[in-house]
Amino acid sequence: MNAFFTLVARDLRLAYRRKAEVLSALFFFVVVAALFPLAIGPEAAMLRQIGPGVLWVGALLASILSLPRLFENDWRDGSLEHLMLSPHPLGLLVLGKICAHWLVSGLPLVALAPVLGLQFDLPPDVLGMLSLSLLLGTPVLSCIGAMGAALTLGVRGGGVLIALLVLPLFVPVLVFGAGAVQAMQSGLGAQAHVSILLAMLLPAVFFSPWACSAALRIALE
């Protein structure tokens, strides 16, 4: 367990030293959220309608952008092999890396989204649901995405390839995440959506480290 926290702390420290990579994914989110109204028009009623979807897709794409970083740097300098050879269970270590990655790439999206939601004229309770749905959904994205990152380690065309592999698998999270916000918007109540998001989060957190370890062994053996 100590290994887990040490690894998380280490990854956070490393991410802090490479702030630019992290921040650029977040800025991507901001830019994408601004592009849609520019493309579609400033009419408030329409923006309110598309807002949840646009913000969710933006968060999704920003998550994918940050995925290559998850294993790449460690793989390049050999520390990934060290991790794999260590006596600690690889699944635990992978979970640590995914946690650190989410803290740095996913959690900021959760915080940013309501601010961007103001651009879409979304009321406070909807903004709250937006944050909650992203809070539950982005870890799932990190978990699924990590497996894609592990499989494509060192492969040509990495980032786009990860997106192609992982986006279809993201669809359920997207449907229920954006759906939760829309349900809140229409007054129907989002309990069902939130429950389903939770139901997706728990298996993702349990199985993803195992799948990622398998993927890393395939990539590195």
Partner 1 sequence: MTMRWFYYAAPQTFYGLAGRLWPWLAALALALTLAGLWVGFGLAPSDAQQGEGYRIIFVHVPVSWMSMIIYLAMAFWSVLGLTFNTRLSGMMTRALAPTGAMFAFLSLWTGALWGKPMWGTWWVWDARLTSELILFFLYLGYMALVSAIDDVRRADRAGALIAIVGAINVPIIYFSVKWWNTLHQGASVSLTRSPSMAQLMLWGMLLMALAMWAYTLAMVCYRVRTLIIERERHTDWVQALPEVAGAKA
Residues at the site binding partner 1, with contacts judged by CB under 8 A? 147, 151-152, 155-157, 161, 164-165, 167-169, 171-172, 175-176, 179, 200, 211, 214-215, 218-219, 221
CB of 185 to partner 1, least distance (A): 13
Tell me how far apart the alpha carbons of residues 166 and 147 are, in angstroms, rounded to a whole number.
9
CB of 121 to partner 1, least distance (A): 22
Whichever of 44 and 164 has its CB closer to partner 1, that residue is 164
Whichever of 115 and 164 has its CB closer to partner 1, that residue is 164
DSSP 174-205: HHHHHHHHHHHHTTS--HHHHHHHHHHHHHHH
Query: Do the beta carbons of residue 80 and residue 220 sit within 8 Å?
Result: yes
Whichever of 38 and 221 has its CB closer to partner 1, that residue is 221
SS3 assignment, position 155: coil
DSSP 103-145: HHHTHHHHHHHHHHHGGGT--HHHHHHHHHHHHHHHHHHHHHH
Whichever of 126 and 166 has its CB closer to partner 1, that residue is 166
CB of 166 to partner 1, least distance (A): 8
Record the tokens describing residue 172, joined without a space.
């359920």
CB of 215 to partner 1, least distance (A): 6
